[in-house]
Amino acid sequence: MQYQVLVQNLPDGLFSAFVIGVPDLVVEGASVEEALNKAKLLLKERLAHGQLFTIEVEGPAGTPAANPLLELYGSLRDDPTFDDWMDEIANYRRELDAEERQREPTSA
């Protein structure tokens, strides 16, 4: 599993690491690496004694449904192949456009 961690430089020269989505998981370290390692260890300890669940709660009647595309927003941001995939789509689109231009009658 992957978690996002916000690391901040504190005024006293220490670094704090806050695990996003785990409200009370904040640690401090003398360096960024130490803070990240402490956060990782504490998170592993917590997960060893519990489980994470996702639950869904229906809103009041008449509440508009959520946009399903928003659930996917940002899901590929850390995928190292995303840019290659977008390049492939652009190349394919250019090929289709070139084929379409070849099929068009020329004006004389």
The overall pTM is greater than 0.85: no
pLDDT in tens, 14-29: 999 999 988 889 999 9
Cβ atoms of 62 and 49 within 8 Å: the answer is: no
Output the CA–CA distances (angstroms, integers) from residue 48 to 42, 44, 68, in the order listed. 10, 6, 32
Higher pLDDT, 2 or 71: 2
Every domain of the chain and the residues it spans: 5-48, 69-103
pLDDT in tens, 41-88: 999 998 898 877 888 887 777 666 677 778 778 888 888 888 888 899
